[in-house]
Amino acid sequence: MKKVYLFFFLTLFINTNIFSDDGYRLWLKYDKIKDKKILDSYTSQIKGWIVEGNSPTILVAKEELQKGLNGLLGKKIKELSQIKNNIIIAGVYSQSHYLKNINLSESLVEISNEGFVIKSIKIDSKNVIIITGKSDTGILYGIFHFLRLLQTNSNIKNINIVSSPKIKLRLLNHWDNLNRTVERGYAGFSIWDWHKLPDYISPQYKDYARANASIGINGTVLTNVNANAWVLTHQYLIKVAALANVFRPYGIKVYLTARFSAPIEIGNLKTADPLNEEVKQWWKNKVDEIYKLIPDFGGFLVKANSEGQPGPQNYGRTHVDGANMLAEALEPYGGVVMWRAFVYDSNIKEDRAKQSYNEFKPLDGKFRKNVLIQVKNGPIDFQPREPFHPLFGAMPDTPLMMEFQITQEYLGQGTHLVYLAPLFKECLDSDTYSKGPGSTVAKIIDGSLENHSISGIAGVSNIGTDRNWTGHLFGQANWYAFGRLAWDHNLSSDEIAEEWIRMTISNDNEIVSKIKSIMLKSREDCVNYMTPLGLHHIMGWNHHYGPAPWIKDKHRDDWTSVYYHRADTNGIGFDRTATGSNAVSQYFPEVAEIFSSVEKCPEEYLLWFHHLPWDYKMKSGKTLWEEICYHYYNGVEGVKETIKIWDSLKNKIDNEQYNHVKMLLNIQLKEAIWWRDACVLYFQTFSKRPIPDELEKPEKSLDYYMNLNFPYAPGI
C-alpha cells in the first residue's frame, strides 16, 4: 500500500509543476541559479559576507543580501566578523572599519548621496567585493544591484560599478481611493487597507517597499490626484504614518495628494482662497501636524482646476498663488509641492493640446523653490503615442517633473502585453532644442540642462491586490522599467527588458531573446491596432475600454473622439499647423518646423499635426487610407506573431506564467481585431474606399461594434 502512495506522489511531483509561479515575488525571486558553471563561479567568489552598521536601513539591506545569496547560491552563505578571502563587504565608506585605508576618492566623488560603488579589490591581500557609498540607502541600492547581477547571471569578476540616480525624486503615484477602488487600476483594489491601518500592517507593505527600493524608487504618493480631503484628517494621518514607518528603512518617503478645498471640507473654514490668512494658517497647522507624525513626509501632489477638481482659480487666484501657499507651509520641513500641469477646460475654445502650455508658460520662474511642475509626457493624456509635451523646455526657470502612466489606461488596460519602456524612452530622448540641439526631455527633467537643484519623475502605478501585483505578468515589467529609467534614463529598453526577463522568467538565452523580441515590438503593435499614424483619443467613453471613434455630441467636446480625429469625406487628422490650431508654434522652431511640414513630419505623428486627404500619398506609395488599413492589420498580425512566439515557450518556462500570459494574449488578439475592425469600418464611412483586397474583411458590422456596452468595465 505504502509503495502505491509513494508511486502516486512521485508521479504527481514529476507531472505537475508544484513550484508554479504566481508572480507574487516579482523580480526578486532569488531561486537557485540553474547554470552549474555560473553557480560554481559565484560560489567560489562569495564565501561569506560582512555588512557594517545597524541602522534600520542597514538591517534590511543585510536581510536582503542574506536572503538573496542563500537563495541564489542554494546554501547558507555565512555572515563573518573578520575579513577572509572571497567575501563581500558592504558599508558606508565614511563609517567603515574595513575600508578606512582604501582610497576610493575617485569613485566616491562621482556619486550622489544615494549612489553606490561595487568593486573588486584586495584588502590585506584578500580578494573582496565591496559595496559602498555615502549613505545607508546607497548601500541598500548597491546590494540590490549586486543581487541583480547575480540574478541575471552577469560576470562579477573584476567588477567595478559606480552608479547614482540621475533624478532626485523617483515616485510612484497611486490613484488609489480611500474606499480601495483604484482610478484606472486594472489589478484589483488598492493595496492600502485603510480600514485596518494603523494596527494591522499587511506583510505586503514591506514587500512593496522592497520591490520599489530594488529599482531605486524613493517616494510614493499614496492617494488619487482626484483627491479626498479625508486623508488629511488626524484619523487618516495616523494610518499614513504607519505606512511611512514600514517604508522608511527602504528609503521611501510618503507623499499625499492635497485636495485644495480641504480647509472647507475638513477644516470648517468658509473659503480655501490661497491668499486668505486663515486658509494659509490652516495649511501650516496641517503641515505641522503631518510632520509631527511623519518627520520625513515628502510633500503634496496637487491636481487643481482640472477635470472638476477645486483650485485657486475658484477664487480668482493663479496656480502660482495655490502652489506657493502650500510650498511655504512645507518649506521649513524640506517638503515639496508637485503641482500638476494637466489642465484644460472645455469652455475655452482652444485646442486642448495647447491649453496646459498656455496656462503654465507665463508662470515660469514665479513658483517657490520647493515647487515642481508635474507634466504628463504628452500634451493630451497618456495616449499610445503622443509627441512630447511642449512645456518641456519652455519653463527653464521652473523644475519640471515627468509624469508617465504605468497603468495601461489607454494601452489595453489589464489584458494587453505592452512593454512601455520604448514609450518612456521615446519621450525622454526627444530633443526639445530649448537650448540648441541635444536639449532632450531627459536633461530637462533631471535638472541638468538648467541646473535645477530638485528634479523628479512620477509613474502612475499599476499595482493592486491581484496576487501578482499588476494583473498582467508583463505589467510588472512596466513598473520595473519605470524605476530603472528613473534611476538612469540612459539605459535602453532592450537592457531593461533583458534584466527583467532574466529575473522574472528565465536565464536561458534563447528564451530571453524570444521574450525580448515580443516585448520590444509590443508597443508598436498596440499603436498599430489602436491609434496608428498619429491618431489619438478614439477609445470608449468614460471607461476608456475598447475602440469608439464614433463618440460625439457629449457635454464636453474635448472628451469626444471626433474632436481628435476630425474625419470627414475630405480626409482625416487634426490640423495643428498654422492653418489649424497652430499647436506646433508651442515647440521650439527646429521642432515646429518638422512637425508643421507635412513632408518632414514623422509619419507616426502625421495625423496628430495634419488633416490630410484620404488619397494623400504616403512614403510607401500607398494612399493614406490604404496606409491606415495596413497599420491596423499589421497591428493584429503583430499580436498573432507574439502568440506564436509565446506558444513556442510551452514547457520551457514556468507553467503558471505560461498559461496566465497565454490566456491574456488570446484576449489581446480578440481585442486587437475589435479595435482594427471597428476603426477601419468607422473611418471607411468617410473615406468611402474599399479595404485593400488582400486584407481579410471584418466579420461584424459597424453597428455591432457601436452597440457594445460595458457598464462594469474596471478602473473607473
Q: How many CB atoms lie within 10 A of CB 106?
A: 9
In the complex with ligand GCV, the residue whose CB is nearer, 251 or 464, is 464
Does the bond joining 396 to the residue before it have cis omega, within 30 degrees of 0?
no
| Interactions with ligand GCV, residue window 329-368 (CB under 6 A) | 342
Site for ligand GCV contains 183 (CB under 6 A): yes
User: Which one of residues 226, 271, 276, 582 is an interface residue with ligand GCV (CB under 6 A)?
Assistant: 226
- Judged by CB under 6 A, the chain residues 255 through 314 that form the site for ligand GCV are 303, 307
Rounded to whole angstroms, how far apart are CA atoms 233 and 210?
28
Instruction: Name the residue nearer to ligand GCV (CB basis): 183 or 508.
Output: 183
Tell the smallest beta-carbon distance from residue 184 to ligand GCV (Å): 5
* Calpha distance 236→244 (Å, rounded): 12
d(CA 366, CA 597): 35
Q: How near is the Cβ of 224 to ligand GCV at its closest, in Å?
A: 6
Q: Kindly identify the residues of this chain, within the stretch 88-117, that bind ligand GCV according to CB under 6 A.
A: none
Whose Cβ is closer to ligand GCV: residue 231's or residue 649's?
A: 231
Query: How distant, in Å, are the alpha carbons of 296, 441, 535, 606 from that of 603?
Result: 47, 21, 11, 5
- By CB under 6 A, is residue 443 in contact with ligand GCV? no
Q: Locate 373 and state its grid cell.
A: 511642475
Angstrom distance (rounded) from CA 470 to CA 468: 6
Amino acid at 471: G
Nearer to ligand GCV among residue 259 and residue 516 (C-beta): 259
Of the candidate residues 93, 175, 300, 344, the single one contacting ligand GCV (CB under 6 A)? 175
Give the phi and the psi of residue 404 in degrees, each rounded to 5: -100, 160
Q: Which of residues 379-398 bind ligand GCV (CB under 6 A)?
A: 381
Contact 427, 378 (CB under 8 A): yes
Q: How far apart are CA 685 and CA 565, in angstroms?
A: 14
Query: Exposed, middle or buried: residue 416 (CB in 10 Å: 0-12, 13-18, 19+)?
Result: buried
What is the smallest separation between the CB atom of 380 and ligand GCV, expressed in angstroms? 9
Q: Does 225 interact with ligand GCV (rule: CB under 6 A)?
A: yes
Q: Is 557 in the site for ligand GCV (CB under 6 A)?
A: no
Choice between 182 and 241, CB closer to ligand GCV: 182
Work out how close the CB of 350 gets to ligand GCV at its nearest, in angstroms, rounded to a whole number: 18
Q: How far apart are CA 477 and CA 501, in angstroms?
A: 8
Give the interface size with ligand GCV as a residue count (CB under 6 A): 9
C-alpha cell at 458: 512620477
Nearer to ligand GCV, 28 or 172 (CB): 172
CA 294/CA 288 separation, integer angstroms: 10
Q: Which residue from 148, 166, 170, 184 is in contact with ligand GCV, where contact means CB under 6 A?
A: 184
**Catalytic site positions:** 307, 381, 409
CB of 256 to ligand GCV, least distance (A): 15
Q: How far is the CB of 564 from ligand GCV (least distance, A)?
A: 14
| Of 303 and 452, CB closest to ligand GCV | 303
> Does residue 173 come out as left (phi exceeding 0), alpha (psi in the -120 to 50 range) or beta?
beta
Residue 307 CB, nearest distance to ligand GCV (Å)? 6
- At 177, list the grid cell: 481611493
Report the C-alpha gap between 616 and 654 in whole angstroms: 49
Asked if 511 and 652 count as a contact pair (C-beta separation under 8 A), the reply is: yes
Q: Which residues bind ligand GCV (CB under 6 A)?
A: 175, 183-184, 225-226, 303, 307, 342, 381
